Structure 1
Amino acid sequence: MNQSHPTLKRGFILVSIMLAMFLAAIEATIVSTAMPSIVADLGGFSLYSWVFSAYLLTNAATVLIFGRLADVFGRKPIFLLGISLFLIGSVICGFAGSMVVLICARLIQGLGAGALMPIASTIVGDIYTKEERSKIQGYLSSVWGISAVTGPALGGFFVDVLSWPFVFWMNIPLGFLAILGIMIFFKEDVAKEKVELDMKGSLWAFIAVSTLMVILVEGGVRIAWGTYLMLFLLFVLVISLVLFIRQEFKAHAPMMPFYIWKYPAIKYANLTSLTTGMILIGVSSYLPAFVQGVMGKSAIIAGFTLTTMSIGWPISSTIAGRLILSIGYRSTSILGGVSLIIGGALFSLLSPERGPWFAAVGSLFIGIGMGLTSTSFIVSVQNAVEWKTRGIATATMMFMRTIGSAVGAALLGGILNNRIDHLLDESSLSKKVTVDSANQLLTENGRKELGAQASHVLREGLTTGLHLIYIGILVLAAVSFLFILLLPRKET
């Protein structure tokens, strides 16, 4: 499989893959930068985290099934399906007139991303040799960094100069270029076989993840913790998890084959991907809200604080490819874990007085940590299995990162909403002002309309709530480091 593509064609395939991955990767930073303006325009601040959670929900629910489909039908058709769904979602996002429509469109985008990210890495694993893979996967990981560089800058530009729908419409021409590149240059011969898809497993996973996210985001805000509705949701969560695990053990072709977890390199890479996914969403989703809502800075300044994350990401991803060959993926991952802890510590000390530069330095170290670990994990996972299971093994790791991001978006969003709601109750403003009113903090005119007292209380809630989020990021960085230390010393 590795030798079936001439070097020139492999180059074009790689560029097309990186372009498609760029579309999915840039969504995290470009949408984050634009979100304060989007929510100021459409309203519904309490639904803020659902814009991210919806995208991550369908991504997480389908990434494993797409990985399985790619192992059966081939990488090409599933990859093209993913790009198409992503572009359809992007068009609808741009025309959204309310937060509800935007969230529904993000569900469609997430479906497409569920096919894009894991299959892109899998195609590279197919067409490049084991020796070449470390360097090439470094290029793929750097896409996240490049997207973080351009995402905030483009997001700030579109918001301040044009309008926020361009954040989504820019995907269209780039997506068509990626489709053409894959259709023309990527050829594969796949032996057709009867396929048994684990649709029950997919269904139970979707129900479990979506229920957990509703509990985390709405618990204590729209749904009180002690109500019958909350108890029902907890019951649904437990039952769906039990049924999912039972289904995966008895399914002939499970969407998540538990046997691959017997490899220590895969097990601990997956667990670390879960926690780093939560770190990534915590930084990219809420840092712009802090810079604009608490520090009172512009969208471009908010974008700058995220841009520095990418300065570390592509550089460290490229270096990681070389480090893996010289010191191994475990030592490379440890260096990444240390960088995550430094970044987490800086974020835990973040305050309005410290200014955007302090936040930017914290983002830089998070980016370095993500670049070193993500490249190391992909190489270690793909080297641990053979071609027939490489697609699902890669997808499983992506699934864990996406689940981490989905749960992180919901959990952190719930913490923020609860904190603001609590302070509103204490100040006796809850009848006049709601959590949704926090979107007015994100524009100068909105702050004037709120009045001094409401503006002060909401700003305090945003400040203290986000501080709790950043303490959580430090804790997650420490947990990630402990998982990394459990990676096997013997390289696969």
Structure 2
Amino acid sequence: MFAVLLAGLDATVVGTVMPTVISNLGGMALYSWVFSAYMLTTAVSMPIWGKLSDIYSKKKIFYFAILFFLIGSVLSGFSQSMIQLIIFRAVQGIGAGGLSAVPFTIIGSIFTPEKRSKGAGALSATWGIASILGPITGSIIVTHFSWRLAFLINVPIGILSVLLIKQYYSELIKKDKQKIDYFGAIIFVISILSFLLAFLQFGKGAVFYSSEVISFLLISIILFLVFIKMEGRFGNPIVSLENYRIKSFGVGNLLAFLSGFAIYGVISFVPLFVQSIQGKSPIMAGLALMPMSLAWSFSSFSSGQIIPHYGNLKMIRIGFLLMIIGFTLSMFLNYDSTFIFIILFIILIGAGMGFVTPAILVTVQNSVEKKNLGVATSSQMLARTLGGTIGVSIMGSILSNSMQRNFDILLRSGTVVSASEILKSNLDNPQILLSSKMRSQMLPDELNIVLSVFTGSLQNVFLLALIVVLLAMIMSFQLRKF
């Protein structure tokens, strides 16, 4: 649990301290890559950590994951430039991939299939707690200490995690030595990495048919086809496509993908709405997600306790139902909506995600033999990460394109007679357009129109999320009860 808390805290603390890091190290143009490098290596390393934990000692693999994470943390804390920080964050992300997958695999090996949900629910709840503590911890660090402490603080927590695992976790299962298909692993990792880079470029403003996006997608597709063709020829593959022919495994991962697609839209755009549209402070923007995190934690823990009595399917469907209600309410969002209304629909979405997360994980784990728990767990984590990355990219593009299109309609209809050039030039960049500096340069009527256009465009984003969750609810009826 401390390991999961460690990874969760780092993900949220770093976002809080990065403005201070930029002021110290410079390199504003590289800002987003501090997060992207971490996310990319986390995603592509998950299947490898999962496979290794199935073949070798889970405890030893956990130690290696902690080691990677702490080395990356210490090096990040002593970075002297943004380039160094990005490289060391990538190292840290490799460890984070193990911390995201191996603890859930350990839980799966400790508990019987009927009781796995309790452990999974507790670990899932830890992520929600970390998302609450992270911003608070980050704010205290940058206010009273050096930003470097945000990375170095991981060391004592990591050491405590190792000591607890060493003391209380014993493996009784004897591992059969297997030859790993390292060639296939490299092909698979580069394929997933290229796929993620394509959508990262798309999310950063590149059009879908741009040379960068198309090139990365072609590389990804070609290498994935090579991986399918060569699967298992040089050893035991890190990802066995045979598993996806198991209905519960395949559908469970699809549901993880769809839920990740939908939830990251809320995480990414609600704070932007609160700060940029409603003019709230950055602190209030961060606090807007706190009720969702609390609801996520509470319902994850509750779901884990309830699943043994009522089954995984009921928790999945209750969760998606709550998300459907939440996203439906979000369609009534206006730029002058009350803060209470915003909290209401994000609590419903967070609670729904909390019910869904451990139930899907248990569904995927229970669909395979115990010796494949690592592969099953990491596949579910990877599916949600891919869904989140693709979702944020597509939703960001929808937001920008909707704003541009809606504003053009207003100009052609005569509703808006004219618009300043500085306004027109930033229609594809909501963060800049709605910054306090830009707002101060707009006329009152012009600002009201921009706020209305943005809110209407954001509703299109939430509409897509609603459609995705509805699809997930329909697909959940393909699962069977465990």
With normalisation by structure 1, the TM-score equals 0.81
- Relative to structure 1, is the Cα distance of residues 354 and 168 closer, same or farther in structure 2, using a 3 angstrom cutoff? farther
Structure 2 SS opposite 1:296 = coil
Query: Which structure 2 segments of 5+ residues have no match?
Result: 409-418
Structure 2 match to 1:61 = 44
Structure 2 match to 1:375 = 358
- Of residues 455, 476, 485, the one that matches 2:468 is 476
Structure 2 SS opposite 1:195 = coil
Structure 2 match to 1:452 = 442
Is residue 257 from structure 1 mapped to residue 234 from structure 2 by the alignment?
A: no
- Relative to structure 1, is the Cα distance of residues 395 and 302 closer, same or farther in structure 2, using a 3 angstrom cutoff? same
Counterparts of 1:35 and 1:334, CA distance in 2: 38
- Of residues 188, 206, 209, the one that matches 2:192 is 209
Q: What's the CA shift string for 1:446-489, capped at 9, x where partnerless?
A: 558x8437x9599788656644433332222222212222212x
Paired AA for residue 270 in structure 1? N
- Of residues 107, 110, 114, the one that matches 2:90 is 107
- Relative to structure 1, is the Cα distance of residues 98 and 354 closer, same or farther in structure 2, using a 3 angstrom cutoff? farther
2:129–2:297: 8 Å Cα contact kept in structure 1? yes
Structure 2 match to 1:14 = none
Q: What are the residue-to-residue correspondences of 1:13-52 with 2, within 5 Å?
A: 18-31=1-14, 50-52=33-35
Q: What's the CA shift string for 1:122-153, capped at 9, x where partnerless?
A: 11222233444232222122112222332344
Structure 2 match to 1:232 = 215
Counterparts of 1:383 and 1:422, CA distance in 2: 47
Paired AA for residue 466 in structure 2? L
1:50–1:103: 8 Å Cα contact kept in structure 2? yes
- Of residues 79, 82, 104, the one that matches 2:62 is 79
Counterparts of 2:286 and 2:222, CA distance in 1: 42
- Of residues 286, 308, 330, the one that matches 1:325 is 308
Of residues 53-62 and 412-421 in structure 1, the stretch that sits farther from structure 2 once superposed is: 412-421
Q: Give the % identical residues.
A: 33
Counterparts of 1:261 and 1:429, CA distance in 2: 50
Is residue 354 from structure 1 mapped to residue 353 from structure 2 by the alignment?
A: no
- Of residues 168, 181, 186, the one that matches 2:164 is 181
Shift of 1:171: 2.6
Paired AA for residue 340 in structure 1? M
1:32–1:284: 8 Å Cα contact kept in structure 2? no
Shift of 1:286: 3.3
1:142–1:313: 8 Å Cα contact kept in structure 2? yes
Paired AA for residue 452 in structure 1? M
Of residues 41-50 and 153-162 in structure 1, the stretch that sits farther from structure 2 once superposed is: 41-50
- Relative to structure 1, is the Cα distance of residues 294 and 249 closer, same or farther in structure 2, using a 3 angstrom cutoff? farther
1:61–1:202: 8 Å Cα contact kept in structure 2? no
Is residue 400 from structure 1 mapped to residue 383 from structure 2 by the alignment?
A: yes
Of residues 235-244 and 411-420 in structure 1, the stretch that sits farther from structure 2 once superposed is: 411-420
Q: What are the residue-to-residue correspondences of 1:271-290 with 2, within 5 Å?
A: 271-290=254-273
Shift of 1:354: 1.1
Structure 2 SS opposite 1:237 = helix
Paired AA for residue 242 in structure 1? L
Of residues 208-217 and 296-305 in structure 1, the stretch that sits farther from structure 2 once superposed is: 208-217
- Of residues 374, 394, 404, the one that matches 1:391 is 374
The count of residues paired between Structure 1 and Structure 2 equals 470
Shift of 1:225: 5.2
Of residues 66-75 and 189-198 in structure 1, the stretch that sits farther from structure 2 once superposed is: 189-198
Shift of 1:186: 2.9
Structure 2 SS opposite 1:256 = coil
Q: Which has the higher contact order (CA 8 A, sep 6+)?
A: 1
Counterparts of 1:388 and 1:437, CA distance in 2: 48
Q: What are the residue-to-residue correspondences of 1:275-314 with 2, within 5 Å?
A: 275-314=258-297
1:52–1:409: 8 Å Cα contact kept in structure 2? no
- Relative to structure 1, is the Cα distance of residues 401 and 323 closer, same or farther in structure 2, using a 3 angstrom cutoff? same
